[in-house]
Each structure stands twice: as structure tokens, then as C-alpha cells.
Amino acid sequence: NNNSNNNNDDDDDTIPTFHSQDEQQKASDYANYFSAYADLHHQKIMLTDTHRMTAYHDAIMKNQHVFRDKVVMDVGSGSGILAVWAAKAGAKRVYAVEYTDMAKHARKVVEANGVDHVVTVIQGAVEDVTIPVEDWEAFHLQTEDGGAATAKECPAADDDDASISCKQQQSKVVDIIISEWMGYFLLRESMLDSVIRARDMFLKPKSGILLPSHATMLIAPIMNEDHHMVIEEYLEGMDDWNDYLVNAKKQYGVDMSILTEEYDKEQRDYYLKSSHYVQLDGDTILAPPSVVKTLDLAVCTLEDAKGVDETEFSFDIESSGGGAEDDEEINGFAGWFTVDFQSRTDEVGKQFGAKMTNPVHFSSSPEIGDTHWGQQAFYFASAIPIQSNGKVKIDGTMEMIRSKENARLYNVKLQYTIGAIAADGLNNVMDMVESVYKIP
């Protein structure tokens, strides 16, 4: 169990707040993560994801009673479309927070749709923004206890703890936080950290709601023909390298074979030790999925967002008996996620939170159809054959931790045993397999 990796003393795996980042860190984070979201081409990929758009549209427009006369914050607003919907649903004030220059486009979208009197676009990291002082009186902003927000001065930002505490006390005037923060296999990109910080700074703790409200991560064994292509590409890459070695020696008189081991490692890391983005069909899933993590956005912590603690799974995969048994095999696992837009389920929230009378469920499962998230495939180095009329049992654990090199990326560790049960009842249990994959 490597859960100790989730608790580094130096907080390597925590996404730094913008209070603590120097200019070099900000520039690096922008280059590695934020920059793509400043492009309309990248926004279009998300805006044309019908399943994504329908889920958010229905969550807002079919629950207008929840938004009416409320204060809403859209974290990572992008093009601003969620903020526009919130305004059209009756919100009295909407803060669309966007770090990149996409904020300039969002302002145009807001104005073009006639809701600029409700929506204000704030360009900046959500960890770094404040509620506009002029709004406190103009929109009658109130904290949960009924007190009007006040414009009292907080300590300077260099006094981090005191400054943040002061801001939190006077800025919890938001009724709804809406955000499309999910990355590949839910957590990649680590935007959830920003949503949690926004919740703790701005959301009314008893009655405030987050949309989506809950999230679930799942894995399942798969049979996907792309696995063979991945293996072939790896082998072809090594063949090309070996051809190069012969030519380099013959034509230029230089022996480059000393680099073969390192080249092979690079190829293996890319093809065999990294997850692959896939758009799977439902029939590639060989067993009901196993839940490896659930999140309640109203109460989850930054620690929860760091990854997945070692979690058990068990799969029983039977031969389909469909006449092509000799070709049946298990060639990896796939991971995906679901999110729900529903009422709060924590004890405090159940009592005080707004009721989502028309809850919405979204899934990036292969059975739903294509989404821009797709699934992450964790391919085996060698496929596991399923004997005719036989069964394969896979028991193991999954763990997911942040990469030490880049806290917005993750590594997935899978440990499992494989038991092959033949038609005659003979049971063959193989040794424990341990694999670590990067999610690029």
C-alpha cells in the first residue's frame, strides 16, 4: 500500500494556490495547463460535446427554481455559456471566473445574449479573486446568517492565513457554484482543487450547492482490438531502431547500440506504461464496472482530490460462447467517471440545501456514446486469453496518485492476480501482476 505517497511532507502533490506561486510558477502552470483553454478551437471541442452540454443545460434550465434570485459562481467559465444559462434561469448575480484570455470572449458572449446586467466576468484564478465591492449593496448580498456583506479591509495578501480567513468570513455569499472541472478519468488536470477552494471561500456552507454535486470513478476489464495496434506500434518502433543501428554502423561507422536500452524504455513508457485515450463501444466492456472512488462535492477535501487510495476490485469474466471463443481475450482495463447534479446528501445540506427536483446524471461510460472525455485504457503487455466455455477471475487493487513531476497529472498503480477457470473446472491462478501507468 503506497498511500504514504499521498501525504508528502512538502506537499509536492498539492496544486499551489496563486497566493503562493511566484511568477515563474504561474508561467509554468499557464504553459502546461491553462494555455489550451484560451483557444476557441479547444472550447469548441467541449461546446460540441452533446452529452456534456445537455447535462449542464438540463441541470440548470430544468431546475430554475433553484437559481431564481440566487448568487451563482461559475468556476473556470471558459466561453461563459454556463453563466449565461444561470442568468436565463433567473439568478440575480452570476460571477463567471476565468483565468485565461477566454474571459474576453466570455464578456462578448454575455453581452451578445443580453445578460451582462446579471453576469460579470472576472479574469483571474478563483483562489485570487474577490467579490466586487460595489455588488455588496447593489445586489443586496448576504451571508448565510442574514448579515449583509461588508467592505471591511482585510490584511494584506502577504499575510496569507489572516487574509484568507478574513475574506472567507465576509465573502460567503454564493448560493450555487457551477463548474465543468472534470478531466480525463475525472481527476486529471486537478481542477477540482480550485473548486474546493472556491467552495470554502465563497459558498454558503449550510444551504449552498455545487453542480455537479457528486462524482464517481469506475474501472472495468475490456477487450479492445486497438490493443493489438498499440503492441504492433511498439514492436515496429523497436524494429525501426534496430534498422537504424545497422545503417548507422554501416554508413557512418558509429555504434549507437549503447542507447538501445534507453530507447526501449522510452517506447515502453509511451506505448505500454501510459494510459491511452479511447472511445470504446459498450460491447468492449467484459464485466460490470467497479467503483473505485466517490466524491461528495459539498464536503470533500483537498486531500480527497489528490487521488484514489488503494481500492479493491474483483471481476468475473466468462467466455461469451458466441462461436469465436478462440479469439476472446482481456487486454486491459478502462476507466471513466460519472457525475450527478442533485440535492445535497450530507446531513447539514439535506436540511438546508436547495432541492434539485429534476436531478441529472451524466456518464462518460462507453455505453453512453462518445464524449470529449472518452475513456482511459490501461493496456496489458500481454492479453489474457479466455478459454472456450471458461472463466477468468481478476482480483486486485487500484491506486492513483499525483505525478511528482507535474501535480496536474496522475499515475495509476494496478496490482492483481488472474485466475483462469477452464470448462473442466481446473483452476490456474497466476502470480501477482503489478503495473504503473502514467495518465499523460
Which residues form the catalytic set?
180, 189
Q: Distance between CA 417 and CA 395 in Å, rounded?
A: 6
Q: Distance between CA 224 and CA 366 in Å, rounded?
A: 12
**DSSP-assigned letter for residue 313:** E
Residue in this structure with the C-alpha cell 457554484, named with its chain if needed: 177
CB within 8 Å of 343: residues ≥ 6 apart: 209, 213, 349, 350, 353, 354, 355, 356, 359
DSSP helix, strand, coil percent of the chain (3-state; round to 5)? 35, 30, 40
Q: Distance between CA 107 and CA 53 in Å, rounded?
A: 20
**DSSP-assigned letter for residue 62:** T
| 410-421/433-439 β-pairing | antiparallel
Residue 280 CA, chain-centre distance (Å), reads: 18
Backbone angles phi, psi at 91, to 5 degrees: -60, 145
Write out the three cell numbers for 117.
446586467
424: left (phi over 0), alpha (psi -120 to 50) or beta: alpha
62: amino acid identity, one letter: K
